Structure 1
Amino acid sequence: MRIRRISAAVAITAAGALAISACAPGGSTGDNGDDSGLVEGSSITAAWNQAFYSMNGNTSFGNATANNNINYLVLDGFNYYNNTPELVKNESFGSYELVSEDPLVVTYTIADGVKWSDGTDVDAADLLLNWAALSRSLDTPDFDPGEFTDPETGEFTDAFPTDVVYFDSGATPDAGLGLVSKTPEVSEDGKSITLEYDKPFVDWELSFPSPLPAHVVGKKALELEDAAEAKQAVIDAIQNEDAAALAPISSFWNGGFNFTAMPDDPDLVVGSGPYVISNFEADQFITLTANPEYAGENSPNIEEITIRFIPDPLAAVQALENGEVDIIQPQATADLVTALDAIDDITVATSLGGTYEHVDLQFDKGKNPENIFKDPKVREAFLKTIPRQEIVDTLIKPIIGDDAILRDSQLFVPGAEGYDESAASNTSADFAEVDIEGAKALLAESGITDTSVCILYASNNPRRVNEFSLIQQSAAEAGFEVTDCGSEDWGGLLGTPGAYDASLFGWQSTSLGVTNSLPTFQTGAINNLNYYSNDEVDSIVAELNTTFDSAKQIELQAQMDKALWEDFYGVTIFQFPEVTAFSGRVEGIESSILAPTVFWNAWDWSVTGAE
């Protein structure tokens, strides 16, 4: 018998997130005689629509859902979101203490017995490197890496200067760890660091993500063999602001953990989470195995989880029906829902997700020789041609019915407090329907001679292919020559100069913080991949970062939303429908509205024994 569950999505904040009400499942007891719940020899297979390519999700290159789903399970941290969603302190990894509110001072301490998967202790060296990378306080001033980025891959080229300190974290001096300009103090026992913020930061509790192994970075960057020596070398380089050592350290932090198949060097997959990467076949699958050194509270039940990369939603459904995979959460399409309806003995959960579809325009360094979207008239003209309502009606409504609506805000989720007021006061209504004649007039006024617009999108995603086709046809009526920059490797190209003129993809909410979406729009921030810069927007971002009053936060976000639409930043289209399906072989599957969605509690998954 087929089981179908439909979850209603409910907005609970104005900070760019939705939430579904659900209970977090508990772990099961295994048959191996200990209390961990791990069942020796147990294995399952899940599917995802994009291949993994970086174990560092804190760079502009690696910051992608496909990477962070895996990194969430192999790199432990101080907190995470459950599927309520609420922030859970992970005190088995470490604790953090608010020492002072004014000035804002926070101490992070690693718990006793926490080790990397190679047996090395996790300690203050890892935390200090995390600060250096995510604050960029030690970076070489005024360095621009743009000319050293490969337009084909999005990675830094071999011509990148070897004497430059540059951490590719997108940190800015008025948000997150960018506000911690002074080098943190390290405790005498080497397990804690204390950070003092230059000014209060509203989401300080979310500003310190999972660290990477400092001993691995030190060994590779400084050509050292001993882990303890390498850790100390990293500490010394940071505390002494030694640019000669920090240059190779930053370079390795940026690119050393990028790989598209199982690396020959086992140091590159050293992790601290419940799982470690044990096998990786390029473009096929990645396998995670229970970390034998993990002693935290989130010990897994299943020994091995393999994640197959299946971009085509219908192929994922076929794999589920054939028993080749146990869990899928593909890009939702009408055909997908129909196909799932025909399968017995599976559970399907459908809801609105925390991801939204949008089109962004390149404000600088686009592919068009005339840098077409520097002109606001051309930006407005192009946005008038995007068939937002047609995309929703033809591609999304068949999946979730009348719940499929246009999203009319860059910052607020439909249904969230502040959304209706912001949508009414911004200019999104000007782009609700296609206006070809208005676009033609603006294009003529601009004087632009090269109307080519190359759009970057996931070429192996059927829904995005359909969206691209609809946009291409509509824009052509106004005189734009829309060309295809689609790529299977689109994620790594988003921040690459000269790679495209417009992009079509989805942003996924990772937290409930008020600053969750701000790095997308702030000049130079990690998610600002289209070289957007607006003084008014930057000023609002800086104020939001230090505003603790919720009513004022909503007011500021509405002001920012209005400014973005009036600047023709791009258009939002729809909130993603989310479909999770799994077989009777597994239990404990409860997706979250926030990233990493279905993987948030993978340690609680268990095998039922059913076939």
Structure 2
Amino acid sequence: MKRISAAVALTAVGALAISGCAAGGGDNGDDSGLIEGSSITAAWNQAFYSYNGNTSFGNATANNNITYLTLDGFNYYNNTPELVQNTSFGTYEMVSEDPLTIKYTVNEDVKWSDGTPVDAADLMLDWAALSRALDTPDFDPAEFTDPETGEFTDAFPTDVVYFDSGATADAGLGLVTQTPEIGDDGRSITMTYDQPYVDWELSFPSPLPAHVVAKNALGIEDNEEAKQAILDAIENEDDAALAPISAFWNAGFNFTELPDDPELYLATGPYMISDFVADQYITLVANPEYAGDNQPTIEEITIRFIPDPLAAVQALENGEVDVISPQATADIKTALDGLEGITVVTGVEGTYEHVDLQFNNGRNPENIFSNPQVREAFLKTIPRQEILDTLIRPIAGDDALLRSSQIFVPGADGYDESVAANGSEAFAEVDIEGAKQLLAESGVTNTEVCLLYASNNPRRVNEFALIQASAAQAGFNVTDCGSEQWGGLLGTPGAYDASLFGWQSTSLAVTSSGPTFQTGGINNLTFYSNPEVDELIAQLNVEFDVDAQIDIQKQIDALLWGDFYGVTIFQFPGVTAFSDRVEGIDPSILAPTIFWNAWDWSVTDGGSEE
């Protein structure tokens, strides 16, 4: 996988998702190439919990791995990586450059797994959710968020329209404030942007079933009537209907075991969910309604949830799973090197580790990191080099290096120049004395820092211990706020003070920094807000010149380090291992990494597992 290392050097970091991980024979059942009875098992380190990866709650790799295979769309990335237009689902074309006008058309034969056609109603719901153009103005949902789970509470107002997509007014579909036009007998919509947008090809994700949303939100039984109700609500800007529609879109697709209602996991992709046992596994089977180009060969894929990477290696050795992609550690590398009949692929991933600080969110004024001196002091105690040398260098060797940019991937154009000027040098080494002085000057006496991380991830447990010990030398009391449900808690006001996790790249979008660092962005889990950063991101969204893009990103990078937003630590070393029983595994640097071409996987023994 050395080619992946090269790919990192060629691209800036893409759009991001929360990462919990490093990330035949037989008779054909039909002309598609599907092998009846064929099955394999893969392992992932975090359990699935939401079928809607476009909400702030559900935007996580553990969820998006599944929906990538079950919810089809207009394009996807291969492992070059390059963007592939999925013309077997539908087509899109630029109708006009000025104003930027894009037409999306779904093919006639595309259906949901219940047989219902995919059409303009599904696309219009996607636009309403991802643009938030119809949301109730100035509504803030934070006080209605459960600090224990990160989900909205039962007290959430029933009379407001609020799509939890994190859309902002100057990026993506947030720039499409006019209601799109429907055409082609209800199979197309045409969207006009308020201004140019450099990454317009990436702004329209796979849709969820509009008829299911309306049936649950509005109590409608007939599928076609339900679709029409969605269209009517959007075109008439009917808040009374849009309020429950948005509420169901936000939370109705969250589940941690197989729902009683099969309509909650309808599919348009090559696979569909068939079984799901809480915290154990989720099983996908070939979707009989899928008519696209990415026809699967394997009939059934089961994904087991194994948080402990050594346990994943053991499961691979025992033949309980066929494919693993655990977070790499020295123990993992040693264990895999000793296995026979196993192919091991290593390289650098598109995921990076970091510590973020939760800023004053207006509802927690006593937040310790409201004070910039305290933020700076704490960041000076993060033992970045020790974490790298202790936990990463034994795996990656000379490829292990500190990542010192919030924006650029090491090796990408602009990285070296940005690092030289962004102020990260002040945090290259631990500075206990400097931290002590800043803490004393701040006047803050309660130095407790609640650090959220994945408590069932051994590498993160070790990182926490190193951070806790180092910060204690400067007078910080870092308390263990580790949780197995860490992903759902991210962004919850007052649930923690600092977080330790990884951002995984999902695309090569130049505008990827917006959702994370812009005020109100879907990935802005820290309540960070800087008007200058917002303005620069707005400029980046409409800038098509590569050199100018890099210059803007360098400015953003320096502001983030100057505001003591947090620290980046390392780019993930990647490891994927699979048994000789399976072929076609060819990991990508971008999410969904090993799953990007699951339809190309095949088994070599011609049957299902024993």
Among candidates 397, 404, 410, match of residue 406 of structure 2: 410
The DSSP-based 3-state class of the residue aligned with 1:360 is strand
Among candidates 98, 116, 123, match of residue 127 of structure 1: 123
Distance (whole Å) between structure 1 residues aligned to residue 25 and residue 421 of structure 2: 54
Task: State the partner residue of 2:396.
Answer: 400
The DSSP-based 3-state class of the residue aligned with 2:538 is helix
2:310 matched to 1:314?
yes
Confirm or deny: 8 A CA contact 1:407 1:575 kept in the other structure. Answer: yes
Confirm or deny: 8 A CA contact 2:4 2:588 kept in the other structure. Answer: no
Q: State the Cα deviation string for residues 382-420 of structure 1 (Å, max 9, x = none).
A: 000000000000000000101100001000000011100
Among candidates 515, 538, 563, match of residue 534 of structure 2: 538
Task: State the partner residue of 2:380.
Answer: 384
2:108 matched to 1:108?
no
Task: State the partner residue of 1:374.
Answer: 370
- The alpha carbon displacement at 1:516 in A equals 1.9
1:338–1:190 Cα change, 3 Å = same
2:476 matched to 1:476?
no
The DSSP-based 3-state class of the residue aligned with 1:56 is coil
Confirm or deny: 8 A CA contact 2:4 2:349 kept in the other structure. Answer: no
Distance (whole Å) between structure 2 residues aligned to residue 188 and residue 50 of structure 1: 42
The DSSP-based 3-state class of the residue aligned with 1:465 is helix
Task: State the partner residue of 1:424.
Answer: 420
Confirm or deny: 8 A CA contact 2:448 2:477 kept in the other structure. Answer: yes
- The alpha carbon displacement at 1:34 in A equals 3.3
Distance (whole Å) between structure 1 residues aligned to residue 485 and residue 10 of structure 2: 33
Quick one: which amino acid aligns to residue 378 of structure 2? F
Q: State the Cα deviation string for residues 556-593 of structure 1 (Å, max 9, x = none).
A: 00011011001100000000011000001100000000
Confirm or deny: 8 A CA contact 1:440 1:479 kept in the other structure. Answer: yes
Task: State the partner residue of 1:80.
Answer: 76
Task: State the partner residue of 1:217.
Answer: 213
The alignment's TM-score, normalised by the length of structure 2, stands at 0.96
Task: State the partner residue of 1:341.
Answer: 337
Distance (whole Å) between structure 2 residues aligned to residue 340 and residue 156 of structure 1: 42
Among candidates 54, 57, 79, match of residue 58 of structure 1: 54
- The alpha carbon displacement at 1:15 in A equals 2.5
Distance (whole Å) between structure 2 residues aligned to residue 556 and residue 365 of structure 1: 26
- The alpha carbon displacement at 1:365 in A equals 4.1
Among candidates 5, 12, 16, match of residue 15 of structure 1: 12
Task: State the partner residue of 1:492.
Answer: 488
Quick one: which amino acid aligns to residue 330 of structure 2? A
Distance (whole Å) between structure 2 residues aligned to residue 63 and residue 546 of structure 1: 25
Confirm or deny: 8 A CA contact 1:45 1:327 kept in the other structure. Answer: yes
Deviates more, 1:386-395 or 1:179-188: 179-188
- The alpha carbon displacement at 1:449 in A equals 1.9
Task: State the partner residue of 1:597.
Answer: 593
Among candidates 478, 497, 505, match of residue 501 of structure 1: 497
- The alpha carbon displacement at 1:332 in A equals 0.7
Confirm or deny: 8 A CA contact 2:9 2:409 kept in the other structure. Answer: no
Among candidates 136, 141, 153, match of residue 137 of structure 2: 141
Confirm or deny: 8 A CA contact 1:368 1:453 kept in the other structure. Answer: no
Confirm or deny: 8 A CA contact 1:237 1:246 kept in the other structure. Answer: yes
Confirm or deny: 8 A CA contact 1:356 1:573 kept in the other structure. Answer: yes
Quick one: which amino acid aligns to residue 544 of structure 1? L
Quick one: which amino acid aligns to residue 109 of structure 2? G
Confirm or deny: 8 A CA contact 1:14 1:514 kept in the other structure. Answer: no
Among candidates 508, 514, 520, match of residue 518 of structure 1: 514
Q: State the Cα deviation string for residues 181-215 of structure 1 (Å, max 9, x = none).
A: 00000115000000000000000000000000000
Distance (whole Å) between structure 1 residues aligned to residue 421 and residue 316 of structure 2: 45
Task: State the partner residue of 1:569.
Answer: 565
The DSSP-based 3-state class of the residue aligned with 1:491 is helix
Task: State the partner residue of 2:153.
Answer: 157
Distance (whole Å) between structure 1 residues aligned to residue 511 and residue 489 of structure 2: 25
Quick one: which amino acid aligns to residue 100 of structure 2? L
Identity %: 76
2:226 matched to 1:230?
yes
The DSSP-based 3-state class of the residue aligned with 1:259 is coil
Confirm or deny: 8 A CA contact 1:366 1:497 kept in the other structure. Answer: no
- The alpha carbon displacement at 1:424 in A equals 0.4
Task: State the partner residue of 2:259.
Answer: 263
How many residue pairs get matched? 598
Task: State the partner residue of 2:298.
Answer: 302
Confirm or deny: 8 A CA contact 1:367 1:499 kept in the other structure. Answer: no
**Unmatched 5+ residue regions in structure 1?**
19-27
The alignment's TM-score, normalised by the length of structure 1, stands at 0.96
1:204–1:29 Cα change, 3 Å = farther
Quick one: which amino acid aligns to residue 13 of structure 2? G
Confirm or deny: 8 A CA contact 2:14 2:510 kept in the other structure. Answer: no
Confirm or deny: 8 A CA contact 1:29 1:36 kept in the other structure. Answer: no
- The alpha carbon displacement at 1:364 in A equals 2.2
Q: State the Cα deviation string for residues 81-130 of structure 1 (Å, max 9, x = none).
A: 00000000000000001000010000000012000000000000000000
Confirm or deny: 8 A CA contact 2:9 2:410 kept in the other structure. Answer: no
Among candidates 244, 247, 270, match of residue 243 of structure 2: 247
Task: State the partner residue of 1:441.
Answer: 437
Deviates more, 1:114-123 or 1:361-370: 361-370
**Unmatched 5+ residue regions in structure 2?**
16-23
Distance (whole Å) between structure 1 residues aligned to residue 391 and residue 513 of structure 2: 26
Distance (whole Å) between structure 1 residues aligned to residue 3 and residue 335 of structure 2: 19
Distance (whole Å) between structure 2 residues aligned to residue 12 and residue 577 of structure 1: 14
Task: State the partner residue of 2:20.
Answer: none
The DSSP-based 3-state class of the residue aligned with 2:185 is coil
